[in-house]
A and B are shown apart, each in its own frame.
Chain A
Amino acid sequence: DGGITQSPKYLFRKEGQNVTLSCEQNLNHDAMYWYRQDPGQGLRLIYYSQIVNDFQKGDIAEGYSVSREKKESFPLTVTSAQKNPTAFYLCASRSANRGQPQHFGDGTRLSIL
């Protein structure tokens, strides 16, 4: 969906460095999500936010942090504590109404130098 923009498309991280992945949506969606996708492992939820200034840990939150200061933005920081950060990261958003699907961005591929 053109309404969700992830940047950059490719990102390289040095050892001990924090990096931030951007996710912006103009769909006026309340909820936003971050997933990690590894080959053969499907989607794993990192963090999600259902409303501005509030977010919850997903299944694999360790080594990651997020903020939700604006409705349209949900940046993800991959900290140096994340020992295996190389992966494909997907951001999604959805309306708060029941029965609504998630809409995804194009993803960011993070690699370690």
Chain B
Amino acid sequence: AQRVTQPEKLLSVFKGAPVELKCNYSYSGSPELFWYVQYSRQRLQLLLRHISRESIKGFTADLNKGETSFHLKKPFAQEEDSAMYYCALSGGNYGQNFVFGPGTRLSVLP
């Protein structure tokens, strides 16, 4: 069965500090991993996906198949990064099985 865990419900860091939001998954096949972000009073939006290997708003995430992890990192947090972050996994032959983690609320303090 597919499962995504995000061990921290709430993560608080100071502005300018590095931030790492943890995501671990369990899936027997080859997964597609995503990070979504939900800013206050805005819709849930895609932040990045592992197949793109991109950096969005200074965030990066590397898929580690050995550790079954897809942690989200940013070297210097900004106050506008405060939001709810969800890790998601897509599996199945057509990626039809989509599973979201419980989410981590990031609070960047001034």
A residues touching B (Cβ–Cβ < 8 Å)?
1, 31, 33, 35, 40-43, 45, 48, 50, 90, 92, 94, 96-107
Contacts and interface: CB of A to CB of B under 8 A. Distances in A.
Nearest to B52: A99
Interface in B55-110: 86, 88, 90, 93-96, 98, 100-103
Contacts, number: 54
Contacts of B95: 94, 97-100
A40 B102 CA distance: 8
Contacts of B44: 43, 90, 92, 104
Given A42-B103, A99-B32, A99-B51, A94 B98 contact: yes
Interface residues of B, number: 21
Given A31-B96, A92-B44, A99-B90, 9 more contacts: A1-B45, A43-B44, A43-B103, A45-B98, A96-B94, A98-B94, A99-B95, A101-B46, A107-B43
Contact of B43 (A41, A42, A99, A105): A105
Interface of B: 9, 32, 34, 43-46, 49, 51, 86, 88, 90, 93-96, 98, 100-103
Contacts of B88: 101-102
